[in-house]
């Protein structure tokens, strides 16, 4: 997947703003089970927001890049203790703006 542009990032961020975080990353950090849960959520939803709890051993940016790499997704935005990921499904539902 190519990188997403700033315009696309802003669009996706706008879509996710009112969504609740569906996964919480805590003390167990980035386990294979957590990665699989995120991967499954991305397949179903394309756009997923997770919450990073204060007891997480990883820094938020480190967790974001690790999870993005493992799920082959893009980090849309890190806001506070929330991370928004995007990965188009095999049959994409979200249509990104051009450029």
Q: What is the dihedral of CA 77, 75, 89, 6, to 10 degrees?
A: 60
Distance CA 53, CA 44 (A): 24
Answer for the pair 91, 43: CB distance below 8 angstroms, yes or no. no
> Which CATH number do you get for residue 81?
3.30.110.60
Q: Could you tell me the residue range of the domain that residue 21 belongs to?
A: 6-86
5-36 pLDDT, tens per residue? Answer: 999 999 999 999 999 999 999 988 899 999 99
Structure tokens at 38: 């995120």
Answer for the pair 21, 51: CB distance below 8 angstroms, yes or no. yes
Structure confidence at residue 98 (pLDDT): 86
Give the pLDDT mean for 25-49. 94
Q: Does residue 98 belong to any structural domain of this protein?
A: no
Q: Does residue 1 belong to any structural domain of this protein?
A: no
Structure confidence at residue 67 (pLDDT): 96
What is the domain count for the chain?
Answer: 1
Q: Does residue 21 belong to any structural domain of this protein?
A: yes
**40: phi then psi, degrees, rounded to nearest 5:** -65, -45
């Amino acid at each position: 997947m190519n990188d997403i542009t700033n315009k696309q990032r802003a669009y996706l961020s706008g879509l996710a703003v009112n969504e609740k975080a569906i996964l919480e990353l805590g003390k167990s950090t980035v386990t294979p089970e957590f990665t699989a849960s995120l991967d499954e959520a991305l397949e179903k939803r394309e756009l997923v927001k997770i919450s990073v709890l204060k007891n997480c051993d990883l820094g938020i940016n480190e967790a974001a890049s690790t999870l993005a790499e493992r799920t082959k997704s893009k980090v849309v935005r890190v806001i506070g203790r929330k991370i928004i990921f995007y990965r188009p499904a095999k049959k994409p539902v979200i249509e990104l703006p051009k450029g």
